[in-house]
Amino acid sequence: MAKIIFVDHDGTKHEVEASVGSNVMQAAVDNNIEGIDGDCGGMCACATCHVTVDPEWFAKTGARSENEESMLTFLPEIAETARLGCQIEITDELDGLVVHLPIEQF
Amino acid sequence: MTSIKDIPLSDLDPSVQTRFQSGEHFEVFDRLRAEAPVYFHETTQYGPFWSISKYKDIIEVEANPKVFSSDAAYGGIWIKEQPKDTIRKSFMTADQPEHDQQRKVVNPIVSPSNLNDMEQKVRDIVTLVLDDLPLNEEIDWVERVSVEVTGRVLCELMDFPVEERMDLTTWSDIVNTDVDAGTEITDEYVKLEKLKPMIIKFKELFAERTGMPPQNDLISMLAHSQETANMEPQQFVGMLVLLMVGGNDTTRNSISGGLDALNKFPEEYKKLRENPELVESMVPEIIRWVTPVAHMRRTALEDIEFHGQQIKKGDKVIMWYCSGNRDPEVIEDPYTFKIDRKNPRQHVSFGFGIHRCLGNRMAELQLRVLWEEILKRGWVIETTGEPERRFSNFVVGIDSLKAIIRKPE
Ligand code: HEM
Ligand code: FES
């Protein structure tokens, strides 16, 4: 298990436990985190799982794929550390990961 | 007539337009999902094609644009092959990287700040339209409400003269006319001829916006971007048609189809009147229920094994959204219209992947504000007959829906 911390746009923190091998979108959906819909079920095809990774953690989340890059660029506003939650696989290394939820997803 | 369950699958053409009018197409797709969810039809009115009928398989195709192309060069997104010289090119019928570059040009139309500004404008438009309606008298909901609201909103988005809004509806209807429907529009050339006034008008507006400082409307965005300032004629038509039709007929039919659904499920309508906050979850349910765009086409760019089937390079692949939205593996009780589903945005009506509808939030906004304002007035809107459905397997159109507005004491 790894701990993932979701931070709302107003600063509220939600801590959840997620199993290694799952992904950040799934962890949010399983725990009813508002702001992450995951409409496409994790196929990198809807961008409703957009998160901003805390800069300290960004490098550890891996690289964006080309499709992910495209999906992200169609979002109205993205930070440099934007990722799609479903494309971040949860590993032991990510225990304690902090991601921020964009306001437009509420 | 033989019933659908007795026709061998190999003789069943899922594209038959009249079944989309009668509702029988649902039976066809129930069979395809159950018996052959990835199926190659050898003979149809459009020649051979694959039908993808399950929710999850549709997303899988959409998520793989490298193999499943939308590019106009291979046939674009149309089930019927188009003559090359009439093809309308846009980012909808382009693959990466052109698609991404052009989509980015108009993306700001759905930025959070623009959506925020639009909410008040949509509310003003809806108020104006509703204020004009008579009570206790039969009206055509399509003409008086669906067309008016979407036409006026589109004028806002394009900064198009609002007095000329009916032109937008007329052009949009020309584009969406099925050339086999038996109207005077018998092929794509006639269509293009009939769209000449549209091209002239948009050229005029484009030139006007080019000469003005950039503003927040779609035409200005196109006119001021390097990517789109100098489009060749087929692309000019394609882009404007995409932005005009994309946001018009689809939303119009959701407004009409939503009223029809509420009347067919009176318990749901009652629940809505007692709990107006359910508008929020009802709106995506309406869009699932109606599935305004019934399918999209892709073309395979390489051989690929897909769920045990061998799709060959060059094959035409049809994703049937109308079927995905009735897939019981994903949507519980899919033939029931339920305004309080837990996960109402779980539907394929907007597509997925890089081509996922750009205007999804804009469409939802119009429906939400319309129903909020209707409920505020304490109106009950009773339909007085069946919707008149259009001959089409692509845009699920409702051309007329008669209704009476009552205000219970
Ligand atoms: C309920 C209303 C609507 C429905 C059901 C709908 C449906 C769709 C569908 C199915 C697609 C293709 C998705 C795919 O191929 O994966 C699409 C694309 C598109 N829609 Fe919508 N649409 C609606 C409203 C709007 C509105 C209001 C606008 C404009 C403000 C709009 C603009 C577009 C554009 C520009 C595309 C092309 C996106 C691309 O290729 O990247 N749509 N829409
Ligand atoms: S869940 Fe759809 S892109 Fe991540």
List b or e across A37-74, with b for residues whose CB sees 16 or more CB atoms inside 10 angstroms. Answer: bbbbbbbbbbbbbbbbbbeebbeebeebeebbebbbbb
For chain B, the domain total comes to 1
- Tell if the CB–CB gap between B112 and A103 is shorter than 8 Å: yes
Which residues of chain A does B324 touch, with a Cβ-Cβ cutoff of 8 Å? none
Residue among A54, A99, A102, A100 at smallest CA distance from A75: A102
Structure tokens at B132: 């004009």
- CATH number for the domain that contains residue B325: 1.10.630.10
- Tell if the CB–CB gap between B346 and A39 is shorter than 8 Å: yes
- Tell if the CB–CB gap between A48 and B345 is shorter than 8 Å: yes
The atom of ligand 2 lying closest to the CA of A84 is 4
Out of B59, B104, B356, the one facing A41 most closely (by C-beta) is: B59
Cα A57 to its chain centre, rounded Å, is 12
CB–CB of B408/B378 below 8 Å?
yes
Domain assignment of residue B209, given as a range = 4-406
Quote the CATH superfamily of domain A2-100. Answer: Beta-grasp domain (3.10.20.30)
Out of B104, B108, B354, the one facing A71 most closely (by C-beta) is: B354
Sign of CA dihedral B244, B247, B253, B259: negative
Per-residue pLDDT of chain B (409 residues; tens, 9 = 90+): 578 889 999 999 999 999 999 999 999 999 999 999 999 999 999 999 999 999 999 999 999 999 999 999 999 999 999 888 888 899 999 999 999 999 988 888 888 888 889 999 999 999 999 999 999 999 999 999 999 999 999 999 999 999 999 999 999 999 999 999 999 999 999 999 999 999 999 999 999 999 999 999 999 999 999 989 988 888 888 899 899 988 889 999 999 999 999 999 999 999 999 999 999 999 999 999 999 999 999 999 999 999 999 999 999 999 999 999 999 999 999 999 999 999 899 999 999 999 999 999 999 999 999 999 999 999 999 999 999 999 999 998 899 999 999 998 7
Structure tokens at B61: 């195709």
Domain extents in chain A: 2-100
Using CA atoms, how far residue B165 sits from B151, B159, B160, in Å, is 6, 11, 8
ipTM of the complex: 0.87
Is A45 close to ligand 2, i.e. is its CB under 6 Å away?
Answer: yes
In degrees to the nearest 10, what's the CA dihedral of A20, A23, A27, A29? -150
Q: How many A/B residue pairs have CB atoms within 8 Å?
A: 55
Record the pTM.
0.95
Structure tokens at A69: 């890059």
